[in-house]
Homo-oligomer: A and B are copies of this chain.
Amino acid sequence: MELVAIVAGLALVEYFAFVILCGQARGRYGVAAPATTGHPVFERYFRVQANTVEQMVLFLPGLWLFAYYVSAPGAAGLGLVFVLGRALYARGYVQDPARRGPGFGLTLLANGALVAGGLVGALVAWL
C-alpha cells in the first residue's frame, strides 16, 4: 500500500503546483479577487486548477477503493497514468484550450477504471 500512498502524494504535489501557478497567474494578469474571469490566460490556469479539483474528487477515493478491493499495484499504475495525464492536460490547456483533450481523456480513463473497478471489487467482496 506504500506505493499507492506515494502515487496519491505525487498527485497532491502536482495539484499543489497547479494552485501555486494559478495564484501567480492571478497576479501576473491582473485579475483581482473575487473575480475568476477577466484575462483569457488567467482563465486557463484557473480552469486547470478547477478541473483538477473536479477530477481529484474521483481520483483519491477511487484509488483507495481499487487498491483495497482489487489490486494495490494496479491502483498505483492507474494512479501514475492519472498523474502523467494531468501534466499533459495542464501543459496543453495553458498553450491552447483546444489542446486539453488528450490529457483530459487519459485522466478520465484512469478515474473511470479506478471508480468502476473499486465499486465492482466492493460488490464482489460483499456478495
Binding site for B on A (CB under 8 A): 2-3, 5-6, 8-10, 12-13, 15-16, 19, 32-37, 40, 43-44, 46-47, 49-50, 53-54, 56-58, 60-62, 65, 68-69, 93, 97, 100, 108, 111-112, 115-116, 118-119, 122-123, 125-126
**Would you call the interface of chain A mostly helix, strand, loop, or mixed?**
helix
- Across the interface, do B58 and A6 meet the contact criterion of CB distance under 8 Å? no
- Across the interface, do A65 and B9 meet the contact criterion of CB distance under 8 Å? yes
Q: Give the residues in chain B near A47, CB-CB below 8 Å.
A: 33-34, 36
- Across the interface, do B33 and A97 meet the contact criterion of CB distance under 8 Å? yes
- List, sorted by A's number, 30 A–B pairs whose CB atoms are closer than 8 Å: A2-B125, A2-B126, A3-B126, A5-B65, A5-B68, A5-B69, A6-B123, A6-B126, A9-B122, A9-B123, A10-B119, A12-B61, A12-B62, A12-B118, A12-B119, A13-B116, A13-B119, A16-B58, A16-B115, A19-B58, A33-B47, A34-B40, A34-B43, A34-B97, A35-B37, A35-B43, A53-B53, A53-B54, A53-B57, A57-B57
